[in-house]
Amino acid sequence: MIKLIAGVNFVAAMVHLLFWGLVAFHFWDGVFGTAPTTALATTFGIGVADLVWSVPLLLIGSIGLMRQHAFGWLCAQMANGLYFYSMTFILVRDGLTGDFKPGSYLFMPFTLFAFWAVWALWSRRHLFFVPSFPRP
C-alpha cells in the first residue's frame, strides 16, 4: 500500500511537470508579452505554486515513503493537503465560470486518490514513527 502511494505520487509529480511545461510553452507569450488576462495570470500562479510546492513535496514524499522515512510520510501528507486546497479552488473557479479546464479533469483522479492516501498513511503511521515513552 505504501509503495502504491509512493508510485502514484511520483506519477503525479511527472504529470504536473509535463502539464505545466506544456501550458508554459503554449501560453508563454500571452503571459510575458502584453498584459495577461486575469484568467491566464491566475493559471500561471497556480502553475508556479505547483512547481514550487506540489512537485517537490510529491517527489520527496515518494522517495521518503519508499525508504520508510518519517519526513517522506510528512511530505506525502502535505502534498495530499495541497491537492485538497488546489482542487477546491479550481472547482469553485470552474463552477462559477461554467468553464471546466482540462487540468480540472486531469488532476481530479489524483485528488480523489489523495483522500484515500491520507487515511492509508495515517493508519500506517506506526511504520514511520517510533512511539515515544512517557518521561518520568
DSSP states of 107-121: HHHHHHHHHHHHHHH
Q: Which domain holds residue 122?
A: 2-126
Mean pLDDT of the chain: 89
pLDDT attached to residue 52? 96
Contact 131, 90 (CB under 8 A): no
Check pLDDT > 70 for residue 112.
yes
For residue 62, which of 24, 16, 19, 102 has the smallest C-alpha distance? 16
Residue 131 in any domain: the answer is: no
Residue 67 in any domain: the answer is: yes
What is the total count of domains within the chain? 1
Residue 16 in any domain: the answer is: yes
pLDDT in tens, 1-36: 999 999 999 999 999 999 999 988 877 665 566 766
Residue 134 in any domain: the answer is: no
pLDDT attached to residue 68? 92
User: How far from the centroid of its chain's Cα atoms is residue 63's Cα?
Assistant: 15
DSSP annotation of 1: -
Percent of the chain with pLDDT over 90: 62
Residue 108 in any domain: the answer is: yes
DSSP annotation of 131: P
R_g over Cα of the chain: 17
Residue 136 in any domain: the answer is: no
Averaged pLDDT, 92-115: 91
35: three-class secondary structure by DSSP: coil
pLDDT in tens, 40-89: 778 888 899 999 999 999 999 999 999 999 999 999 999 999 999 999 99
Residue 133 in any domain: the answer is: no
Distance of alpha carbon 70 from alpha carbon 127, whole angstroms: 9
Maximal C-alpha separation, the chain: 67
Amino acid in the structure at residue 38: T
> Using N-to-C axis directions, what is the helix angle for 70-97 and 55-66, rounded to 10°?
140
Residue 132 in any domain: the answer is: no
